Amino acid sequence: MKRSELLSRILITVAVLATVGTPLFIWARTPLIHAKIAEDGGWNPDIIKVNVGEPLHLKLTSDDVVHGFAVGQMDMQSVDVLPGKVTDITLTFDRPGIYTFFCTRWCGLNHWRMRGTIEVTGASDSPIPAEPALGEVERVPMYVTLGLDIDAPHEAPVIPSSQPSASSGRKLAANLPIDRSTDYYRANSPYQVFGELSNTSMTDSQRWDVAAYLWQSNTTAESLANGQQLYAQNCAACHGENGAGDGVFADDLAAAGESSTQTMTGADNMTMQTPVDFTDPTRMLGASPALLQGKILRGGMGTGMPMWGSIFTEEQIWDLIAYLYSFQFNYQGVTQ
């Protein structure tokens, strides 16, 4: 064989092998966390393990559409996970426990099912003193201590004829001996407050105004803004941007309900799948903040309503609830 022929063959073989080998080698050593819509498998891997105090480096990429990444109950800015791009993020966990990471950008009807867990174990040789594990410090939710059945109907038998105004309620409440504590507000529905004021000389509409004031005085502009933001990012796609239960996925949920083979029976099942209308006074004015907290924490158990317990902090849930009542009450003209 001529030398030129031999050299050509060697050159071609080496070039092709290097073209295949080098990228394959680097690829195999780059562990990526792939994001796909839940229908196609969600996060992969969806279980990540790390020790307390050790920095966790993650490389996130999306295989289809825009996703986001955040860890529940953690003080962190969510990051976008973009198709074909790699997002680097480093996390450090101070407390052991099982954390939930989740998609933060709506990616379809089952967006909220796109979750995974980070198992943080306390390393015995960790120089950081062990802190109490996640969950151990949390209080028992209020709906449990109050013994509320959060699946029971909670309709207000009476509703106001016009939107209750917190500003007029404030003037009326000035001389009333009502309980303004946070615990009282959380444990009672606006209708219950309306009922307790029945022994006063106020008109129905005035009594609703007082309830509106009570609700308004238990929140702040800051909390409402925070709640509004949480609502827009997490709730509006189903419950509607104006709370009317007519979000872009409402029809899809109804269709999913119809075709669903879940155990609940026929017509009930379908209504269960429809997102709640927060502008409906019968439903909202009969619900206490504690009851709503329970629903948000636990989720709808198969109805399409996610459970948010492992994601939102307690404060975030109260902010969100305060915002939900603003679909019922007029908070205008009141300054904190």
Partner 1 sequence: MELTRNPFIKNALKSRYPQLAVFIVMLVGYVFAILAGLIGTPVGSHNFSIVFVWIAWWAILILVAVPFFGRGWCAVCPIPLPGEWLQRGAVLTPPDKKPKWLNLRWPKALRNIWLQNISFLLLALFSSVLLTTPNITAIVLAAMLFAAIGLSTIFERRSFCRYLCPVGGFIGLYSQTAPIELRIKEKQVCVTCDGKPCYNGSANGYGCPWDVFPGGLTKNTYCGLCMECIRTCPHDNIAINLRPFSADLSKPSTRMDEAFKAFIMFGSAMIYAGVLLGPWGALKDAAYNVGTSAWFMYVIIFLGMIFIILPGLFSFSLSLSPNPSPAGRGVGVRVFASLATALLPLGLMFWVAFSLSFVLTNATYIFVSLSDPLGLGWNLFGTANTAWQPMLTSILAPAQTLALVGGLIWSARTAQKAAGEVKVSSIPVIIYCFIATLAMLWLLL
Partner 2 sequence: MAFAPFPVRPVTPQERTFRIEAGQFSYTPSELSVNPGDTITIELVSTDVVHGLYVDGYDISVEADPGQTATLTFLADKPGSFRFRCNVTCGAMHPFMIGKLSVGQNEWFYRSIGLSIIATIGSIGYLMFPRLLPLITAH
> Segment contacting partner 1 (CB under 8 A): 9-17, 109-117, 152-160, 233-241?
9-17
Alpha helices, DSSP H, located in 221-265: 221-234, 236-239, 250-259
> Segment contacting partner 2 (CB under 8 A): 17-25, 162-170, 240-248, 312-320?
240-248
278 is an interface residue for partner 2 by CB under 8 A: no
Q: Choose among partner 2, partner 1, none what residue 1 binds, the Cβ cut-off being 5 to 8 Å by kind.
A: partner 1
Q: Which of 156, 236, 284, 296 binds partner 2 (CB under 8 A)?
A: 236
> Segment contacting partner 1 (CB under 8 A): 23-31, 162-170, 180-188, 252-260?
23-31
Residue 34 zone, left/alpha/beta (φ > 0; ψ -120 to 50; rest): beta
Q: Which of 99, 191, 249, 308 binds partner 2 (CB under 8 A)?
A: 249
What is the Cα–Cα distance from 224 to 216, expressed in whole angstroms?
A: 10
212 is an interface residue for partner 2 by CB under 8 A: no
Q: Which of 116, 160, 243, 247 binds partner 2 (CB under 8 A)?
A: 247
Q: Answer yes or no: are the C-beta atoms of 157 and 192 closer than 8 Å.
A: no
Q: Choose among partner 2, partner 1, none what residue 63 binds, the Cβ cut-off being 5 to 8 Å by kind.
A: partner 1
232 is an interface residue for partner 2 by CB under 8 A: yes
Distance of CA 160 to the CA centre of its chain: 30
**Of 9 and 49, CB closest to partner 1:** 9
**86-125 binders of partner 1 (CB under 8 A):** 86, 88
85 is an interface residue for partner 1 by CB under 8 A: yes
68 is an interface residue for partner 1 by CB under 8 A: no
Spatial neighbors of 218 by CB under 8 A, at least 6 apart, are 180, 182, 185, 186, 322
**Of 35 and 317, CB closest to partner 2:** 35
What is the Cα–Cα distance from 273 to 263, expressed in whole angstroms?
A: 13
State whether residue 83 is helix, strand or coil. strand
State whether residue 189 is helix, strand or coil. coil
The tokens of 26 are what?
């680097």
Q: Which of 62, 117, 310, 316 binds partner 1 (CB under 8 A)?
A: 62
65 is an interface residue for partner 2 by CB under 8 A: yes
Q: Which residue has the tokens 């976008």?
A: 80
Q: At closest approach, how far in Å is the CB of 286 from partner 1? A: 43
Backbone torsions φ then ψ of 290, nearest 5 degrees = -65, -40
106 is an interface residue for partner 2 by CB under 8 A: yes
Q: Which residue has the tokens 């052991």?
A: 96
89 is an interface residue for partner 2 by CB under 8 A: no
The tokens of 128 are what?
């950081």
> Segment contacting partner 1 (CB under 8 A): 25-33, 135-143, 295-303, 309-317?
25-33
Cis preceding linkage at 45, omega within 30? yes
> Segment contacting partner 1 (CB under 8 A): 85-93, 235-243, 269-277, 322-330?
85-93
222 is an interface residue for partner 2 by CB under 8 A: no
Q: At closest approach, how far in Å is the CB of 80 from partner 1? A: 13
Spatial neighbors of 89 by CB under 8 A, at least 6 apart, are 57, 58, 60, 69, 79
* Nearest-5° Cα angle at 28, 23 to 34: 110
Q: Which residue has the tokens 């609703």?
A: 208
The tokens of 216 are what?
């308004």
What is the Cα–Cα distance from 132 to 306, expressed in whole angstroms?
A: 27
β-bridge mates for residue 50, sequence order: 120
| Site of interaction with partner 1 (CB under 8 A) | 1-2, 4-5, 8-9, 11-12, 15-16, 19-20, 23-24, 26-27, 30, 32, 59, 61-64, 83-86, 88
| Site of interaction with partner 2 (CB under 8 A) | 37, 64-66, 82-84, 105-109, 111, 232-233, 235-238, 241, 247-249
